[in-house]
Structure 1
Amino acid sequence: MPHPDLPRLIAHRGLSARAPENTLAAVRAAHDAGIDWVELDVQRLGDGTAVIWHDRDVARCSNGRGRLATLDIAAARRLDAGAWFAPAFAGERMATLEEMLALLVELGMGVNLELKVNRGHDPAALAEAAVPAVMEALPFERRLVSSFDERALRVSRALAGPERLALGALFDRVPRDWQARAEAVQAVSVHANWKPLKAERAKAIKAAGFALLCYTANDPDAFAPRWEWGVDAVISDDPTRFDTAS
């Protein structure tokens, strides 16, 4: 199966160490820092609008309260999604998927788009909203769709074959049946929490022909042995820290 052109370093939720996560500002910051790819989360609001957001609610990363499922785009637009991070980002708004894809096209960047299926949300509806949009906006070599949710991955695969859409299977602790689960959706990559990952499992993933991405690593020295296990890419809040260590 074809693989996208994965870089060694990917900015987690944009350059989230330096700008509010999952915002247009965070993606611009990654680009300005010389990072070519970002990892972003996509969900749906109550009115079906696809937006770039991680949490089930808006409390942590905005000046508002409430669950995404209760918001429409007009209400989401009224939220300040930047001031919580730093005064310089006051007025930053929740980005729609459409806005984010337009920025990625403008900047010539690639994306690992995670289908974030929080409790009470429909994984099929999310895949149907997000996958065609990212496929239309970006070329195959600059996009990868991933998820923890197996139904979201199955629906994504039904929307497009492996020659048109690269999928990544996300795990916290990579389970014993990881290969069967990844092969069931014709995934090209396995995405693992770097801390519990063991050398034996990492080498097995690589031997089976999958790309191996590790999240969310922010300590280059602690992470360093994983490169020797065959890790292809690290997803980091500040991947520039890895420039001289990787």
Structure 2
Amino acid sequence: MRTSPAWPCPRWIAHRGAGHCAPENTLAAIRAGAARRYRMAECDVKLSADGVLFLLHDDTLQRTSNGHGPAGAWPWARLSQLDAGTWHSAPYAGEPLPHLTSVLRYCRANGMNLNLEIKPNPGQAEATGRAVVQALRAHWPPDATPPLLSSFQPAALQAAAEADAHWPRALLLASWPRHTADALQLAQDLDCVGLVAEHRLWQASRVQAIHDAGLACAAYTVNDAREAERLLALGVDSLITDAVDAFTPD
């Protein structure tokens, strides 16, 4: 029997905060999504060399900051000094990589929720899953709607569940297993509340099977209006988008 809470996500979720309007995985991006009335931001969480949780998608720093090399090799004192905004556009020059605690505090103060993708550095799936749960227990009110924890790595979701099953979890899929039952069984074994798949993977039979099992469906990254209409017609519960200016979340 599932022990974790129900699906906590609204229909529309801002991808990486609002990563086209502002530098992805920064507080500036989350603020940009909030300004467009999005009530949930998706973002990626990993560990620094000294065990601090911060937002970053890639294993390496150079695409979205002026740092170089593996992100997990840097202590937070150095990571916190990086410029994570200039790569996007001049108005965001100097925007820092955000500490997860700062993100949690901002979202609680501004009525936003989060889809935290556990995006571990190589070999750190279990440690990152446990650390994210510890941060939530310290900084997110237990009586508030909980953030969704998602990951492509079952070990990260399993570690999060073992640390505290209160926080709802979702299995991420970039490709579909040969049988829908295989994906469903893995999600159920991990006590997930839903599956989040690349948008082109969703078909009517898959959505129906997931719903029949009492789980929710979400799609990433949905930036085309016709594709959004197709997915909503199928009954997909939540859509993760970069196009926060194109889709009204209300």
TM-score range, shorter chain: over 0.9
Sort the Cα spacing of 1:159 and 1:42 in 2 relative to 1 into closer, same or farther, 3 A: same
Q: What is the total number of aligned residue pairs between the two structures?
A: 242
Q: Give the equivalent residue in structure 2 for 1:111.
A: 114
Query: 8 Å contact 2:117–2:150 — kept in the other structure?
Result: yes
Structure 2 Cα separation of the partners of residues 116 and 45 of structure 1:
12
Report the secondary structure of 1:38's partner residue. Answer: strand
Counterparts of 2:163 and 2:77, CA distance in 1:
29
What's the counterpart of residue 166 of structure 1?
168
Is 1:191 matched with 2:196? Answer: yes
Deviation digits for residues 186-238 of structure 1 (CA, Å, limit 9, x no counterpart): 10011010013222212211221111110011011123111111101100012
Q: Which position in structure 1 is the counterpart of 2:234?
A: 229
Mark the runs of 5 or more structure 2 residues left unpaired by the alignment: none
SS at match of 1:242: coil
Does structure 2 retain, via aligned residues, the 8 Å contact 1:4–1:141?
no
1:91 to 89, 94, 98: 94
From 218, 241, 246, the equivalent of 2:246 is: 241
Aligned residues of 2:26 and 2:95 also touching (Cα < 8 A): yes
1:151 maps to which of 152, 155, 165: 155
Q: Does structure 2 conserve the Cα–Cα contact (< 8 Å) formed by 1:199 and 1:226?
A: no
Moved over 3 A (4+): none
Is it true that 1:6 corresponds to 2:9 in the alignment? Answer: yes
TM-score by structure 2 length?
0.92
Contact 2:228 2:239 in 1 (8 A): no
Task: Provide TM-score, normalisation by structure 1.
Answer: 0.93
Aligned partner of 1:182 among 179, 187, 196: 187
Read off the aligned partner of 2:114 and give its amino acid letter.
Answer: V
Name the CA distance, whole Å, in 2 between partners of 1:150 and 1:103. 29
Cα distance in 1 for partners of 2:96, 2:123 equals 22
- Distance in 1 (CA, whole Å) between partners of 2:52 and 2:240 is 26
The SS at the match of 1:222 is helix
1:31 matches 2:37: no
Secondary structure at the residue paired with 1:134?
Answer: helix
In structure 1, what residue type is equivalent to 2:109? E
SS of corresponding position for 2:200: coil
**Could you give the per-residue CA deviations for residues 7-29 of structure 1, whole angstroms, max 9, x where no partner exists?**
11000000111000000000111
Q: Is contact 2:222–2:240 with CA below 8 Å preserved after alignment? A: yes
**Percent of pairs identical after alignment?**
34
Q: How does 1:38-117 map to 2 (within 5 A)?
A: 38-117=41-120
Quote the offset at 1:78 in angstroms. 2.1
State the one-letter code of the partner of 1:61. Answer: T
The CA distance in 2 between the partners of 1:117 and 1:45, in whole Å, is: 10
| Partner amino acid, structure 1, of 2:86 | A
C-alpha separation between the residues in 2 aligned to 1:211 and 1:114?
Answer: 16
Unaligned runs of 5+ in 1: none
Contact 1:146 1:170 in 2 (8 A): yes
Deviation at 1:185, TM superposition (A): 1.2
